[in-house]
Structure 1
Amino acid sequence: MTKLKLAVIGLGHMGKHMLHRWVPQFAEQVEVAALCDNEESRLQQEAEAAGSSARLYTDYRVLLNEEQLDLVYIAVPPSMHHDVARIAFEKGVHVFCEKPLANSLQEARHLLELAEQSDRLHAIHFSFPMDPEVVQFKQLIDEQAVGPIEQMDFYLEFPQWPRAWQQNPWITTRHEGGYLLEVGIHWIHMIQQVFGPITQVKSQIEYPSDGRQCESRVSAVMSLHNGMDIHVSGTDHREGEERVSLVVHGEQGIIALENWSSLYMGPNEAELRPVPVRGGEDELPVFKQVLQILNGKPGQVYDFYDGYNAQVVLEALRKPGEGVTDLRQQLINRRD
């Protein structure tokens, strides 16, 4: 089997995971041909730690112009996603992009158009709906295990932002940081996959006095296509441990997906009990699926349609208008 030539652009938290954790699992299928980061010391350090013979670049434009690649993994800050993906498509390279798709709805729409025009794979790094806990959560919802749904509550509550392991220059900025963008986007996409389109948003945001800083508190209502409301509570001043959870209130009880991977169900909040979850694979589902598709095998990925439609909701939360924002004219159905 001829190995696919991969470039990893951005060696922050996710880029390091790709280089040190995920690529070694599929070393027989993929070769890291090039690495890029704007900090030369970090670039050298991570390449040496991985024992990589990849060519090193501090400018992604030079990399994409010089290298013959099959796939690029984009793990730079959101404001750079558009330019990196645009050039990759122009060079005929398959694109696997970190979330969110772009740094604005306009950029996300343009990237979707470029992806449509290309014959290249376009995948965005959404893996949450593939997690065993979410698969079982969806099954319980589909089976109406707690009866018809009456309301949902979505919590994005942190004792501090950023979290201790997330220190970088941009993650606290209003331009391309914040917990809505970094964490909320995963849950927005998961909700769209489990419950269907989010078609209306009413959002209120409190910001710190420093105009450069991201949101501090969020109070919002996201309405599904069927009229069901999801109440959103966000803060970076939570007392105690962080809570990132979706609680579904049904006529006959409650199902709660707590902190990504803990599933509970019961007749009321005081009587919630853990739901045993069948185990899944240890390998990163999305990267494995990307490689399978590129090797001509069946695979499942979330593409730039999913990335765009999640961004529609994200931007309505981050940049609220007056009253309720109707999203129906902005959402786009996948074209087969």
Structure 2
Amino acid sequence: MSKLKMAVIGLGHMGRHMIHRLLPQYADKIELVAICDSDASSLEREVAEAGIRPRLYTDYRQLLDEVSMDLVYIAVPPSLHYDVARIAFDKGIHVFCEKPLANSLTEARSLVELAEKANRLHAVHFSLPLDPAVLKLQGLLEEQAIGPIHRMDLFLEFPQWPRAWQQNPWITSRQQGGYLLEVGIHWIQMIQQLFGPITHVKSDIEFPPDSNQSESRVQAVLRLHDEIEIHLSGTDQREEEERVSLVIHGAEGTLALENWRNLYQGGKDTGLQPVSVDDVVSPLPILKQIVQILNGESGIIYDFHDGYNAQVVLEALRKPGEGFTDVRPQLMGIKR
């Protein structure tokens, strides 16, 4: 079986993670044929550290025009996702894109249409629903471990934004950055996968005086199709350590997914206790699933439709109306 030819466009945190951590695990299945980044010195440094010799580009258009490949990984800032993916689909290339899918809902919908027309694989790098702790959480919910769900609380609370390891020019911008776009979208998409569509959004959002800066505080309610409400609390001024968590309150107890991967369970009259996830077999990473699919095997990915539906909710949070906004007319595959 011949190797899949893959290019990486963008050497930010996720692009570096791809070439240093993920791709070496699949060296027998994937050939990294090219890398692009606007910073030539970063290109040279990263490939030297990785001990690889792909073709190097500072212009993604030139790369996509000159290099033959099966798959492109898009890890550039969100404002460039649309253009890179558009060109890739036009050339018949499969696309693996970082989140959020696009820089606007209009772009996201257009990308779904382009992906369908190209009939190529289209995946967004959503991995949270397949994390062992989330799979364990899903199993406990299916077993009715805490009885019927009454409500949920979602915490996106940071002592500062950006976090220390996220220093780049766009991560704090109102157009492309902020913790809702960067972090919240993971949780929105995971909630949509586990609990069904979010149909109504009510948001109270505060921005700094500088119109270029991303949100500082968010208080919102996300209402699921079955009327269960998720109360969202977001801030970049938390006095304690970062908290990124989902707490699910049921008639018979509570489940809490704290700081991404720590799962806890408590009864009506007992405190929260850690839940082991050592027995859970996860299909991650998503790259593994993509390789399987492109080799004609079964696999699990979240496609551009999933990315678009998550972005619908995200945009309602960032641009609130009066009271609850009914987002059902915008969602793909959802009946009113």
TM-score category, normalised to shorter length = over 0.9
**CA 1:278–1:170 in 2, change beyond 3 Å: closer, same or farther?**
same
Cα deviation, 1:222-265, whole Å, max 9, x if unaligned, reads 00001111000000011111111111111111111111111111
What is aligned with 1:49?
49
In 1, Cα distance between equivalents of 2:100 and 2:282: 24
Q: Is the 8 A contact 2:132 2:282 kept in 1?
A: no
Contact map agreement 1:131 1:280 (CA 8 A) in 2: no
| Contact 1:25 1:283 (C-alpha < 8 Å) held by counterparts | no
Q: Distance in 2 between matches of 1:68 and 1:61?
A: 13
Contact 1:254 1:269 in 2 (8 A): no
Residue 291 (structure 1) shift: 0.6
Query: CA 1:279–1:25 in 2, change beyond 3 Å: closer, same or farther?
Result: farther
Equivalent residues in 2 for 1:110-149 (5 A)? Answer: 110-149=110-149
1:21-170 correspondence runs (5 A): 21-170=21-170
Looking at structure 1, the residues matched to 14 and 64 of structure 2 have their Cα atoms a distance apart, in angstroms, of 20
Aligned-pair identity in percent equals: 66
For residues 309-324 of structure 1, the aligned pairs below 5 Å read 309-324=309-324
CA distance in 2, matches of 1:233, 1:268: 24
Give structure 1 stretches of 5+ with no counterpart: none
Letter in 2 for 1:15: G
Task: Measure the CA separation in 2 of the matches of 1:148 and 1:300.
Answer: 28
2: CA distance between counterparts of 1:143 and 1:63?
A: 50
Letter in 2 for 1:85: A
3-state SS in 2 of match to 1:16: helix
Deviation at 1:21, TM superposition (A): 0.7
Find the counterpart in structure 1 of residue 192 from structure 2. Answer: 192
Alignment partners' CA distance in 1, 2:47 and 2:105: 34
Please tell me the root mean square deviation across aligned C-alpha atoms, in Å: 1.4
Q: Is the 8 A contact 2:74 2:98 kept in 1?
A: yes
The code of the aligned residue for 1:5 comes to: K
Helix, strand or coil at the partner of 1:162: coil
Query: Residue 263 of structure 1 aligns with which residue?
Result: 263
**1:215-226 equivalence runs, <5 A:** 215-226=215-226
Match of 1:237 in 2: 237
Structure 1 pair 21–51 and aligned structure 2 pair: CA distance change class (3 A): same
User: Cα offset for 1:112?
Assistant: 0.3
* TM-score w.r.t. length of structure 1: 0.97
TM-score (normalised: structure 2): 0.97
CA contact (8 A) 1:22 1:283 kept: no
Partner of 1:307: 307
CA distance in 2, matches of 1:330, 1:248: 27
* 1:280 CA drift (Å): 5.2
- Name the amino acid aligned to 2:296: G
Cα deviation, 1:32-84, whole Å, max 9, x if unaligned, reads 10000001110111111112211100010010011111000000000100000
AA in 1 matched with 2:246: L
**2:131–2:282 Cα contact (<8 Å) kept:** no
Give the letter aligned to residue 231 of structure 1. Answer: H
Q: Would you say 1:13 and 2:21 are equivalent positions?
A: no
Stretches (4+) displaced over 6 A: none
The question of 1:179 aligning with 2:171 is answered no
